[in-house]
Structure 1
Amino acid sequence: MTAARTPAAAYADYLDHLAEADESGAIGVAVDLLDAGVPAERVLLDLVAPAQEDVGERWARNEWSVAQEHAATHVSERVVAALAGRTRAAPTRGRIVVACMDGEWHALPPRLVAEVLRLRGWRVTFLGASVPAAHLVSYLHRHDAHAVALACAVPVRLPQAHRMVEACRLADVPVLVGGRGFGADGRWADRLGMLWAPDAPAAADLVADARALSRLLLARLDHLADDEYAALVARRAELVDGALADLRERVPATRAYDRARLDATVSDLGHILDFLAAALYVDDGSLFTEFVRWLVTVLTSRGVPAAALAATLEHYGGVLREFPRAAGFLDGGRALLASAAEPVGR
């Protein structure tokens, strides 16, 4: 059987290997593409990257377990390492430090960015997942860096991202950011005054453009003066406890949850508040409604009725009625759930 000569032709085979956690088979597919003359950058961006997105979507739809998702991600990381070992690129440009935001554990996307930068001649230092801001700044003080590229996959890390970028700027190192955590169009990076790249090639172009990289953007956060964000964060534990008690009253079946399902429920109640807080930080209700749309898909695929989520949003809305922005965002989430529940053609 002739090996596929394009990433598109090899995609289904590669995804099958990820599904089986078949490291050797997945590496073989990628290496065959290299041997067929496909540039390593295209293998990374047209095969590995979209397959990883597919892995995440399969987990969200409850088609794959957490264990399967972790195994597939590990295999993809090994594929990236194998490609790096077969594509030597002598550094001819300065050092770029690539890292995940503090608390951000999705390390494969920034690893792909790091590899693309390496292939384009940069000396790349990849610091991996969840790098504390103080440790990153300390590293920058010891090693001369042309720029820092920071990744954030989940919007709840936006407040930490803002503080981390400011810390890098104080160290006098240009910073660019990327990842889904900043919005599909980078809108939240713009609100926080950050240089944003939508993908690895765009990041490579940006770090090579001295004028663009040195451009100073200003954060627009005057809305934080109302203290809604700070107050919500301070009351998180109390709000989660109250929501759990309310949910047990409204949805009696939750009283019979075993420990694992109870822990998952408490985690979900906290995530709702975390995304609400992030929406307050950037003053954008679409951040919260996008999360609600995703969460209802995840929950219903696992047998949790959307009504339970609607009840929780209603509870939080009542408790937080003295927070106008938060209450408005919660109303937007409830409206989304209501429209999704309406019969087709109504």
Structure 2
Amino acid sequence: MARTISKKPVYNLNLVLQETGIKADTLRAWERRYQLPQPVRTDGGHRLFSEYDIETIKWLIARQEEGMRISRAVDLWNNILSSGEDPLYSQMADQTRKPAGPIGKHESEALEFERSRWVQACMNFNEAAAEQVLTQSFAQFSLETVCVEILQKGLAEIGSLWYQGRASVQQEHFASELAVRRMHSLITAAPQPVRDGTILVSCPAGEEHIFSPLLITLLLRYRSWNVIYLGANVPKQHFKETIQKTHPDLVVLTAMRLTTAASLREMAFFIQDRDLPVAFGGRIFNLLPDLIKKIPGYYLGSDLLGSISAIEELLINPLPDTEFAEVPERFSQTIGQFIAKRQLIEINIQDSLTKRWGSQITSQPIEEAINYLERNIVAALSFGDMDLLGNNMDWIGERLAAYGFPPDWNFAFIEAFHNALESQMGQAGKPITAWTGKILASTPSSS
């Protein structure tokens, strides 16, 4: 149980100044303008303060040290009071101003157990059981801890099961929908923003994974920042009007795949041209750290909770523009020529595979596989590095299997792709055919 803070007025002004470090003039100004703190006066007119008054002063000073103006700190204090909680005791106040502390061994084991229960409930499509796990967990642990240790890691676990073929797309979608719905509910219940500064949080074009940006939005809202969440798959052209209307101090973008990292890069240039700072993060930058230096913006790091502190630091103490590596112009030219020849390349691949397999395969899975590979090729070219796609057949085989290809067809597919590129693009397609050539050289052919 938390210690009760006494409201009995027993301390004189000198002791308060010594205990808090505040100046007497500043304290008088706070009392006059904001009615905080509220000391009582003796018959002789001297002010007496309680322990609660002293802790109130310390609380306000701490908010100033975090970058708030005193008027905003007072607004936050009053906002928490109006919610029925006391700022010096409330969980809301703790969540608003600082992240959860380190997780101990016993707490870690308890969280792992609750996470396994939530994952199992989702795998069984048991919404009531999944919601019960979350309700019980929020009663035991901090908001940040539950969101990261159960929801975020639980979704990652289910995603891994899907990747291994041990979970269905429907199970993954069910879990994601429950997690996203909970995020929206928590965001709606978050305190009103009282800090100076507006943050836009968004996914670039093509990015549909929204849990991480929602969690960023939630945690920043609970720190009293004004956050505008734009959602998934936001095209670059829609950003201009949004920026003009909202006047953000920072734009935060997230991407999970190489293709959407390329969209993020394009949007980052667009935003930077409007003299706005950009911060970015996401799983793909953990997997391919070489991408980071090719994006004009501030990388938020691999840890989501750490990214919240990084965002706050950027708002309070803006950094100079970051340096980034330019991509040689020849890669842009290759992209243009590849897109111009795409239809002919696809026809060549279709013809080659049809001649080889005849009626064994329909056109739809071939088209889907070609489109998937083409999107990744364009993304890799936009970063000036085809090796970002890897130099073996593993990931290609996994994706082709998802489109209905037997494993022994993988080599023939890449071979048909390689030959179509050489036929239609010649030397102009060299950056791509050099990569497909490596794939073929590393893969045993099958007759």
TM-score category by the smaller chain?
A: 0.7 to 0.9
Shift of 1:306: 2.9
Aligned to 1:66: 169
Cα deviation per residue 1:124-179 (whole Å; 9 max; x = unaligned)? 11110111212222111111212111112221234432221112112222111122
> Is 1:249 matched up with 2:350?
no
> Is 1:287 matched up with 2:381?
no
Cα deviation per residue 1:25-53 (whole Å; 9 max; x = unaligned)? 222212211211x1111211111112222
> Is 1:34 matched up with 2:135?
no
1:27 and 1:78 in contact (8 A); partners too: no
Aligned to 1:164: 267
Cα deviation per residue 1:223-272 (whole Å; 9 max; x = unaligned)? 535721221122222222221221222334xx2446xxx42331111111
Structure 2 runs not aligned, ≥5 long: 1-106
Return the TM-score normalized by structure 2.
0.67
Query: Match of 1:296, as an amino acid?
Result: G
Supply the distance in 2 between the matched residues of 1:290 and 1:105 (Cα, whole angstroms): 27
Aligned to 1:7: 111
Supply the distance in 1 between the matched residues of 2:144 and 2:372 (Cα, whole angstroms): 35
Supply the distance in 2 between the matched residues of 1:58 and 1:212 (Cα, whole angstroms): 41
Aligned to 2:409: 308
Cα deviation per residue 1:76-101 (whole Å; 9 max; x = unaligned)? 11232344456647543522111110
Deviates most, 135-144 or 154-163: 154-163
Query: Match of 2:283, as an amino acid?
Result: R
Supply the distance in 1 between the matched residues of 2:142 and 2:264 (Cα, whole angstroms): 33
Supply the distance in 1 between the matched residues of 2:283 and 2:340 (Cα, whole angstroms): 26
Aligned with 2:203 (options 88, 100, 114): 100
CA RMSD of aligned residues (A): 2.9
Aligned to 1:55: 158
Cα deviation per residue 1:102-142 (whole Å; 9 max; x = unaligned)? 12212222212222222333221111011121222211111
Shift of 1:301: 6.8
Structure 1 runs not aligned, ≥5 long: 342-346
Aligned with 1:125 (options 213, 225, 228): 228
Aligned with 1:240 (options 332, 346, 351): 346
1:93 and 1:121 in contact (8 A); partners too: no
Greater relative CO (CA pairs within 8 A, separation 6+): 1
2:348 and 2:420 in contact (8 A); partners too: no
1:153 and 1:179 in contact (8 A); partners too: yes
Distance 1:316 1:264, change over 3 A: closer
Aligned to 1:141: 244
Supply the distance in 2 between the matched residues of 1:277 and 1:225 (Cα, whole angstroms): 9
Distance 1:250 1:282, change over 3 A: same
Q: Secondary structure at the match of 1:6?
A: helix
Q: How does 1:318-329 map to 2 (within 5 A)?
A: 318-321=419-422, 322=427, 323-329=429-435
Q: Secondary structure at the match of 2:287?
A: coil
Aligned to 1:296: 397
Shift of 1:338: 4.1
1:41 and 1:116 in contact (8 A); partners too: yes
Distance 1:193 1:173, change over 3 A: closer
> Is 1:155 matched up with 2:261?
no
1:31 and 1:83 in contact (8 A); partners too: no
Distance 1:166 1:298, change over 3 A: closer
Distance 1:225 1:270, change over 3 A: closer
Cα deviation per residue 1:281-331 (whole Å; 9 max; x = unaligned)? 212233212795333234447763333222222222223342221112212
Aligned to 2:4: none
Q: Secondary structure at the match of 2:208?
A: coil
Query: Match of 1:109, as an amino acid?
Result: S
Q: Which of structures 1 and 2 has the bigger CA Rg?
A: 2
1:15 and 1:51 in contact (8 A); partners too: yes
Supply the distance in 1 between the matched residues of 2:400 and 2:441 (Cα, whole angstroms): 18
